[in-house]
Homo-oligomer: A and B are copies of this chain.
Amino acid sequence: MSQSSFQKLFFALALANISIPPSSSHTTSVTEANVARGVILQLHDKSVLDFRTISLEEPPKAQLQPFLDAEAAGSLTASSVRPDRLARVAYDVVSENKLFQFYESLVDVSTGKLVGQELIDPKHQAPLTLGEFDHLVKAVWRSPLFKEAIAEFHLPEGFEVIVEPWPYGGPDPDEESTRYFQGLCFAQDTRNGNPDSNFYAYPLPLIPVMDCKNREVVRIDRLATGGKEDGLVKGTHASKILEHCKGAEYVPELLENGTRKDLKALNVWQPDGPSFTVTDESLIEWQKWRFRVGFNHREGATIHDIRYDGRSVMYRLSISEMTVPYADARAPFQRKQAFDFGDGGAGTCANNLELGCDCLGHIKYFDSTNTTSDGTTSVSSNVICLHEEDNGIGWKHTNWRTGRAVVTRNRELVVQFIITLANYEYIFAYKFDQAGGITIETRATGIVSVVNIDPGKTSDYGNVVSPGALAQNHQHIFAVRIDPAVDGPNNTVIVEESHPVPFSPERNPAGNFYEIQQTPILTSQGLDAAPHHNRVVKIINKAKRNPISGKPVGYKFIPSPTQKLLAQPGSIQARRAQFTNHHVWVTKYKDGELFAGGRYTLQSRDEVDGVADAAKRGDAVEDTDVVVWNVFGLTHNPRVEDWPVMPVEIHQLHIKPADFFSANPAIDVPSNKNLSSKLVEKESCCQDKTH
């Protein structure tokens, strides 16, 4: 197969941003975005346009699947039909009376033709752009309302106000459907001259709200600063609002005692280079795994067409949505609820990673693109890193008769991206192992969201993590979307549990027997974790049997029984996050149905066309193209130790083969001695320090 056919495929793949690849391909893809831009500009040539995103449209599965199968089989030819390369362009048409119309249009970037145009129902808000965040900051600075409000506070000398743009959140039930942004306000101690002095240590109790139509601050919300004794009351604070706050630095040069000196280097050294190959700029091959990596502005890194040793495992794997609702009962904090994928895009907020900082060893980076409001597209570099990690022992056995130990390491291939959302960060990783397993790891870190609290008070709404700074209780609830293809597209989901069996002479004479119960999921639905029954979700292919066990081949995962959304049913927080109602959802595959929280989450009051709605269709899901969603979370009641930057809180979802293979696929991993390991002798560490 020629390089160009591979590249065609690459572009036909699930890269919602036009490009990932470095080097030569950038040009092409920026060029393609420019083609799409040109088509849209021409289409609306009498109007003012505000571009939001230009992204590659994933082809319908019915088109892409045969292409991928042919490619995997090595049977693609020059005459093979390739899915069209389409760009989805999201943009506003701004009319003279400042009415915005939000469109999503599809452009064939090869032919330069418009192939679809959708005017989005005005009940939805378009996802935010970073440009809108800039508008908010500018609007606040020119707002007389804000100037007046901030003047009340008598900030100490040397402090400057910082306005941090946030989505408005879920509006109250009776509010108008105006597009708003809000700013959380802090003060920065500029006396040290360091622009990275941590302003979150000095929270200010006011939130300017901008109406997007005129880009004007229309309201200043005042925040309560009281404690337990004050209930929902606002306005208890003194005007010297920062007097009791205290700096909390994290950049090394501002630490009072500097960084610790006793941590010695630990380097990962791969003398022969990495074990993976990257072909065609998105095709990754490693240890019998073969998959494509994609990246889009909404989901960040996505994984496509996952195959192991030539057998298909998944069509697509992605982190679909997350929501972060806050539990402070005092208005306007009921609105404080982010949807970090739907509101603005995890891909849009992805960090540009740096060598030697975010991972160790040999690292391959992938780039993406950003689009600005005039529709021009530029490269965003290093948004994904790919590298190998050692995760301890993989398997070991010592023959007690001979003393011979065979031990292998557990090498993993990691596709990682990191997003920053104002104060907070998430580290997402897809990890492939040699035993046929895939782990989806989330790490929560960054700076917890704090509000001002009066001196000496404590609160039911959170924990005082720094003098004057209340870190509010909140949850993080994630949804991972698994589009399986276990030995082909037609799969069935089985719930498998282990149950005690009553004593009986025939079945359980000594009481030690327990039985495995299997229940197939016949129609689309939500279901929950059940660790007391050791509930396992298995995705099987009924048409393929394991030659050893005789059971259908499958993959499985144990859903984590993490706490579900705590907000009251019927509350706005709950209405907009219906996907959090179950730990597992099983739905019938439908093109474009990718987002657990619905297509448009920004400022929503209800989840629309999310996974809960998809499940409600009651589709037959047995032995067909099924999609499985896993929802898990973290109830985060902050500790003082989470300040000023919190240590990672890690969650892992392990998806493992279950009678998919005929043996442990890692049995042929070499058990060579690692020759670089070193014995610690007396002289290197074990001095008696008492001398």
In the bound assembly, the distance between CA atoms of A172 and B511 in angstroms comes to: 11
Contact status of A645 and B664, CB under 8 A, knowing A6-B688, A513-B327, A679-B355? yes
Q: Smallest CB–CB gap between A663 and chain B, Å?
A: 6
Set B263, B336, B510, B640: member contacting A549, Cβ < 8 A: B640
Q: What are the interface flags for A96-111 relative to B under an 8 Å C-beta threshold, 1 for contact and 0 otherwise?
A: 0000000000000000
In the bound assembly, the distance between CA atoms of A636 and B597 in angstroms comes to: 34
Task: Tell me whether A410 and B668 are in contact (CB under 8 A).
Answer: no
Set B511, B568, B675: member contacting A502, Cβ < 8 A: B568
Stretch at the interface among A146-154, A338-346, A457-465, A479-487: A457-465
Contact status of A279 and B334, CB under 8 A, knowing A397-B447, A446-B396, A498-B635? no
Task: Tell me whether B463 and A659 are in contact (CB under 8 A).
Answer: yes
Contact status of A422 and B400, CB under 8 A, knowing A563-B534, A690-B6? yes
Stretch at the interface among A118-126, A269-277, A608-616, A617-625: A269-277
Copy number in the complex reads 2
In the bound assembly, the distance between CA atoms of A33 and B137 in angstroms comes to: 75
Whether A420 is near chain B, meaning CB under 8 Å from some CB there, is yes
The interface residues of chain B lying within 8 Å CB-to-CB of A436 are 641
Task: Tell me whether A677 and B637 are in contact (CB under 8 A).
Answer: no
Contact status of A688 and B280, CB under 8 A, knowing A250-B667, A331-B510? yes
In the bound assembly, the distance between CA atoms of A532 and B562 in angstroms comes to: 6
Task: Tell me whether B550 and A334 are in contact (CB under 8 A).
Answer: no
Q: What are the interface flags for A396-431 relative to B under an 8 Å C-beta threshold, 1 for contact and 0 otherwise?
A: 111111101111011100000010101101010000
Q: What are the interface flags for A440-464 relative to B under an 8 Å C-beta threshold, 1 for contact and 0 otherwise?
A: 0001011100000000001011011
Q: Smallest CB–CB gap between A279 and chain B, Å?
A: 5
Stretch at the interface among A80-88, A387-395, A586-594: A387-395
The interface residues of chain B lying within 8 Å CB-to-CB of A653 are none
Contact status of A690 and B334, CB under 8 A, knowing A264-B274, A395-B648? no
CB proximity to B under 8 Å, residues A263-296: 263-281, 285, 287
Whether A520 is near chain B, meaning CB under 8 Å from some CB there, is no
In the bound assembly, the distance between CA atoms of A571 and B647 in angstroms comes to: 45
Q: Smallest CB–CB gap between A129 and chain B, Å?
A: 14
CB proximity to B under 8 Å, residues A238-274: 248, 250-252, 255, 257-260, 262-274
Set B3, B406, B551: member contacting A691, Cβ < 8 A: B3
Taking residues whose C-beta sits less than 8 angstroms from the other chain, chain A's interface range is 35 or more
Whether A488 is near chain B, meaning CB under 8 Å from some CB there, is no
Whether A689 is near chain B, meaning CB under 8 Å from some CB there, is yes
In the bound assembly, the distance between CA atoms of A300 and B326 in angstroms comes to: 45
In the bound assembly, the distance between CA atoms of A454 and B467 in angstroms comes to: 71
Whether A572 is near chain B, meaning CB under 8 Å from some CB there, is yes
Task: Tell me whether A669 and B260 are in contact (CB under 8 A).
Answer: yes
Task: Tell me whether A532 and B266 are in contact (CB under 8 A).
Answer: no
In the bound assembly, the distance between CA atoms of A302 and B273 in angstroms comes to: 39
Whether A79 is near chain B, meaning CB under 8 Å from some CB there, is no
Whether A193 is near chain B, meaning CB under 8 Å from some CB there, is no
Set B326, B510, B640, B663: member contacting A546, Cβ < 8 A: B640
In the bound assembly, the distance between CA atoms of A533 and B511 in angstroms comes to: 32
A23 (CB) vs chain B CBs: closest residue: B682
Whether A112 is near chain B, meaning CB under 8 Å from some CB there, is no
New contact pairs (16) apart from A357-B674, A392-B648, CB-CB < 8 Å: A263-B275, A263-B669, A266-B270, A267-B270, A325-B512, A329-B508, A351-B398, A362-B680, A363-B678, A364-B680, A395-B645, A463-B659, A503-B568, A548-B640, A641-B661, A642-B664
